Structure 1
Amino acid sequence: MTEQNGRPRDTRIDSAVLSAAAELLTEVGYADLTMAAIADRAGTSRPAVYRRWPSRAHLVHEAVFRDADTSAVAATGALETDLRAVVARTVALLTSPLARLAVPGLIGEAAADATLNQRLLDRFAVQGWRGLDGHLAAAIERGELRPGFDGGVLLEVVIGSALAALLIRGPDGLTDAWVESTTRLLLDGLRAP
């Protein structure tokens, strides 16, 4: 990362801060995580941290999801298989060890922070499933999917279902059986008559 004016940012600080945030999140949990402790662990100053991330939630979001798989879901030509991959990817993102610790706090803070909310939406809706609209268009052409279906709504339903299950069942409740059951339920609503 570089600033528009001035000298380039030291990427070693960025990396140290992200690593420190992940380590401390594991040690103390989201509620007790502070920017001061993160800065101390990273060997930098609080102003250096705040120049990069405006809040703890923004920093934790990046630390938790920095290594997340946000590549495009490969199209297989079968709606059921592609949809199962989207559901499984959502589960994987939300149940990683760091996400288990951070997601409940991030959801709470995102409700009051429009920029954080947008970053979370972008992470899940845009970065996580590039090409989904093309997969859906191909499924419509094959006659598997009702015409006019909105891919954004599909993602909202998948993400919302996974979040609700995460809160109700806990992270260990989002099993392969849950992925299969959710995929089948979604397919019943998606398929062309």
Structure 2
Amino acid sequence: MSGRQGRARDAGIDDRVLAVAARSLASNGYIAMSLATIAEEAGTTRQALYRRWPRKADLAAAVIKTLEEREPHGAELADPYSALVAELADYQRGVSQPGRLSLVGTMLQDTTDPDVRARYRATVVAPRRGRLSDILETARRLGHIDADADLEIALTMCTGCWYGRELAGDPAPERWPERTATLIWRALGGRTPD
């Protein structure tokens, strides 16, 4: 047996690379994301980076995986209005983190790898929309909102109004989750709690 051993693997390299890649993806977009620059900023080599993520799309997908939505927070669906407020508050916390809104813009660019965009939709967008849809469907089933309420449009309004406000350059309104939930709830024929 030869006494030669390989160099110990740097356990922190993955975290460093993913942090740098997340910043790069959010600020520069997918097409301008440079693996060489990321490796340099993370204090590693391109070879080490390629061993872990052979393609730029693989690294971008790994960044998206770190954004994976958590399980529902346990707000009781017996009180769908409160669950809606809680979900919108959670959304506001997430989208307000540095780089998150820029990442949304990156996912809308034509130059973003389709597989990366699909991963983002499946990992970040679909779980949130699923929880919001469950809340609104429960509200309709319990008779808290109109039976013919347009849940398709309401679902888009839940998060879409945040993006519209950001694009207009308006500051975040105070109590945005409660105010948004109230507006949507009333538009769907519901009465909000006092």
1:151 positional shift: 6.2
Where does residue 83 of structure 1 map in the other structure? 84
TM-score (norm 1): 0.66
Where does residue 48 of structure 1 map in the other structure? 51
Count matched residues.
176
TM-score (norm 2): 0.66
SS of equivalent to 2:57? coil
The change in CA–CA distance for 1:181 and 1:14 in structure 2 (over 3 A counts) is same
Separation (CA, whole Å) in 1 of partners of 2:164 and 2:59: 24
Q: Which amino acid aligns with 1:141?
A: R
Where does residue 190 of structure 1 map in the other structure? 188
Contact map agreement 1:90 1:162 (CA 8 A) in 2: no
Contact map agreement 1:165 1:174 (CA 8 A) in 2: yes
Deviates further, 70-79 or 45-54 = 45-54
1:156 positional shift: 2.8
Separation (CA, whole Å) in 1 of partners of 2:24 and 2:129: 27
1:145 positional shift: 2.6
Separation (CA, whole Å) in 2 of partners of 1:146 and 1:47: 54
Contact map agreement 1:84 1:179 (CA 8 A) in 2: yes
| Residues 1-36 of structure 1 deviation map (CA, whole Å, 9 limit, x = unaligned) | xxxxxxxxx9865333213324x549x943575221
Contact map agreement 1:72 1:129 (CA 8 A) in 2: no
The change in CA–CA distance for 1:158 and 1:49 in structure 2 (over 3 A counts) is farther
Separation (CA, whole Å) in 2 of partners of 1:71 and 1:152: 22
Where does residue 35 of structure 1 map in the other structure? 35
Separation (CA, whole Å) in 2 of partners of 1:86 and 1:36: 39
SS of equivalent to 2:109? helix
The structure with the largest alpha-carbon Rg is: 2
Where does residue 141 of structure 1 map in the other structure? 141
Unaligned 5+ segments in structure 1 are: 1-9
Q: Which has the higher helix share?
A: 1
Aligned counterpart in structure 1 of residue 178 of structure 2, from 174, 177, 180 = 180
Q: Which amino acid aligns with 1:122?
A: A
The change in CA–CA distance for 1:82 and 1:99 in structure 2 (over 3 A counts) is same
1:97 positional shift: 1.5
Unaligned 5+ segments in structure 2 are: 1-9
Among all aligned residue pairs of Structure 1 and Structure 2, give the percentage whose two residues are the same amino acid.
Answer: 20
Separation (CA, whole Å) in 2 of partners of 1:52 and 1:127: 26
Separation (CA, whole Å) in 1 of partners of 2:135 and 2:94: 21
Where does residue 6 of structure 2 map in the other structure? none
Contact map agreement 1:75 1:135 (CA 8 A) in 2: no
1:181 positional shift: 2.5
Contact map agreement 2:65 2:123 (CA 8 A) in 1: no
Contact map agreement 2:140 2:146 (CA 8 A) in 1: yes
Where does residue 108 of structure 1 map in the other structure? 109
The change in CA–CA distance for 1:152 and 1:34 in structure 2 (over 3 A counts) is farther
Separation (CA, whole Å) in 2 of partners of 1:83 and 1:49: 39
1:72 positional shift: 0.6
1:149 positional shift: 5.8
Superposed CA RMSD: 3.7
